[in-house]
Structure 1
């Protein structure tokens, strides 16, 4: 790296580590550090839309999971926790808030006498439909910063990498 070239945040960190620890290969920071920073920026931009609808990321995730489950737009709390990758305790807090706001309803399961289900209310369905439409517009805006070819290549790379890090979910 030349001294007169403007370095991004990650490159400056790599340069400092290369100076302080020349015995280590710091090149992985180039990918991991930038990916981490991009993820942070994307999360900030995605949360703008969630907040517009009075939702946090977790509440949006629950409503979206219920909505994409299809009619009758309901799941057991444990299924929701598994689909959104949070603990059942965290799920309970999310559901309490969503139920308080009239966006979901909890009721006994028709198929399991001891079980319960969480269902989208009409207000919840209307809200997530509007929020998801804006969310997709926002994601398109963010992705449009890349060329279509770059976006396609990035998706392919990330798909392969994620498959190595995360076991495939059952069908």
Structure 2
């Protein structure tokens, strides 16, 4: 059995319950187990995503930025990109530096306000997205290929609810 297959089921419900008892907490072990496994799956998915996008000489962040630009008519301000990607303006700047160096985007002054900048998807950037689309979307489909349409519908609902709960980790 591959390591990835062995680690999918760790920790176990009993391990979670044992930890909770050790600290004398009144917490549902199953809820903790779901959250811990989701966090572990998220970490593994993040690593796999980087391997996936490296095939196209991109990172997950650079791909997301290109796709967001394409979804918004090929032009957007750096601050709007940061907001829609959920990252800092400094992170966007780093992503843009590499994308611009590769000729996939360019930065220019805004036609509406010469003091602000906009990011423009170049023809080369749009072609890059077209070139990777078949393999990219095919692999995404394969990733969830063991789920039926009904299961994917339920999963999307559950994922939305869990995503709304993420703030519990960060709020004061």
TM-score between the two structures when normalised by the length of structure 1 = 0.81
Q: Distance in 1 between matches of 2:22 and 2:164?
A: 35
Q: Distance in 1 between matches of 2:99 and 2:164?
A: 33
Q: Matches of 1:116 and 1:18 in 2, distance apart?
A: 51
- Cα drift, residue 163 of structure 1: 4.6
CA–CA separation in structure 1 for the residues paired with 2:129 and 2:99: 12
Aligned counterparts of 1:161 and 1:74: Cα–Cα separation in 2? 32
2:15 — aligned with what? Answer: 13
Runs of 4+ in structure 1 over 6 Å off: none
Relative to structure 1, is the Cα distance of residues 164 and 13 closer, same or farther in structure 2, using a 3 angstrom cutoff?
closer
Q: Within 5 A, what are the aligned runs for 1:12-91? A: 13-18=15-20, 20-21=22-23, 23-25=25-27, 26-70=29-73, 73-91=74-92
How far is the alpha carbon of 1:60 from its aligned partner?
0.8
Q: 1:36 to 1:165 in 2, by over 3 A?
A: closer
Question: What is the CA RMSD across the aligned residues, in angstroms?
Answer: 2.3
| Distance (Å, rounded) in 1 between the aligned partners of 2:25 and 2:59 | 44
SS of 1:110's equivalent in the other structure is coil
Partner Cα distance (1:83, 1:42) in 2 = 20
Contact 1:103–1:120 under 8 Å retained in 2: yes
Cα deviation, residue 157, structure 1: 1.8
Unaligned runs of 5+ in 2: 1-5, 168-172
Q: Could you tell which deviates more after superposition, 56-65 or 32-41?
A: 32-41
Counterpart Cα distance in 2 of 1:85 and 1:152: 25
**Aligned pair in 2 of structure 1 residues 89, 14: CA closer, same or farther (>3 Å)?**
same
Q: Distance in 1 between matches of 2:164 and 2:24?
A: 33
1:165 offset after TM fit, Å?
5.4
- Cα gap change, 1:161 to 1:16, in 2 (>3 Å): closer
Residue matched to 2:156: 155
Aligned length: 159
- Return 38-47 or 112-121, whichever deviates more: 38-47
